[in-house]
Amino acid sequence: MSHHLSFTQSKSSRDEALGYIQSSIDAALWTENAEIEQDLKKRIDQHYLFKLEILNDLKAQKLSIEQLKIIHINYLNSIVKIFTDALSMLIYQTCSLENNPNIQPEKRVLSKIYARYLLSLNLLDELGFDTGNLECSSPAKSHLAYYLHLLNQLGIDLLKTQHVQPQALDIANFIQKNYDNYVALLLILSITEKQVIVFSEALSINLAKFNPAFQQGYYTCHGLADGQANLANDDNHENDLWCLFVQAFKIENQQVIYNVLEDYLELWSKFWIKMRSLTLENIASEG
């Protein structure tokens, strides 16, 4: 069966927007900021978050269904529930581009629209739009709805919050604290996209041990760490976020941005370390 790319995956429309964004600032400044981008990406890729033992455990399908339930209720409260909030705030904060000195004065107002266009492609995906076939769109196909459906399949009661850990809430609070900082929020969501790709793949693998149906819905919406073909657009969205970062980043804010990077990665590391410690406690109690 042939599968057409949806509008949100259209290369030509994204290239048009990305081209305008790059042309909106001087070429020399773009090159300088792109070097900062590459350094940040390198620090992210090399961070111990993406080498944690829980990734190996998940890919080896070592965790029990009860352990996975604990992880999923915490994951909901750390990022899944809040992601469209953050993305919507980011779309609003593009208004700051009107006063960004990086951007050529005559392109500042329209830069806001091109940025919102790219970010809206991400939001449309999150909200369950199929822009290739609008009749197939539904809020019931939103990523959050899919995730809540998965929790229901797992038998998780959302009203029982005793398993929600402080490390999950710390992530959500950190994101909320940066709602008014456009560049910091771009970085935070760029890291989030990578984290989702890497850990979603591992979680999906472990869940499949118990029921292949658990891999449908939410986990079909997210990319695979090895770049295999799938229905997700996460790689596009992450690249778009980085492009917008290069446009808006100001060198005088470099230390603040590097601090945000380290703090946010550390919060996610603490989250996954806590998740593994809970699974080990669960194993001990079962023994």
Dist CA 79 CA 87 (whole Å): 11
The parts of the chain modelled with pLDDT lower than 70 are: 1-10, 222-235, 282-287
Q: Could you give the residue ranges of the DSSP H alpha helices within 47-138?
A: 53-59, 65-75, 83-93, 108-127
* Amino acid at the residue 132: G
Q: Token pair for residue 180?
A: 């008014």
Tell me the domain boundaries of the chain.
Answer: 9-286
Dist CA 126 CA 131 (whole Å): 12
Residue 230, pLDDT score: 44
Total number of residues shown for the chain? 287
Report the topology of domain 9-286. Answer: Heme Oxygenase; Chain A (1.20.910)
Backbone angles phi, psi at 25, to 5 degrees: -125, 160
Give the SS3 label for residue 75. helix
Q: Write the pLDDT tens digit of every residue in 212-262.
A: 888 888 888 765 544 444 444 666 889 999 999 999 999 999 999 999 999
Q: Show Cβ contacts of residue 39 under 8 Å, excluding neighbours closer than 6 positions.
A: none
Residue 9, pLDDT score: 54
Residue 5, pLDDT score: 40
Rounded to two decimals, the pTM is: 0.91
Residue 222, pLDDT score: 66
Residue 35, pLDDT score: 98
The 10 Å CB-count burial string (b at 16+, else e) for 92-123 is ebbebbeebebbeeebbeebbebbbbbbbbbb
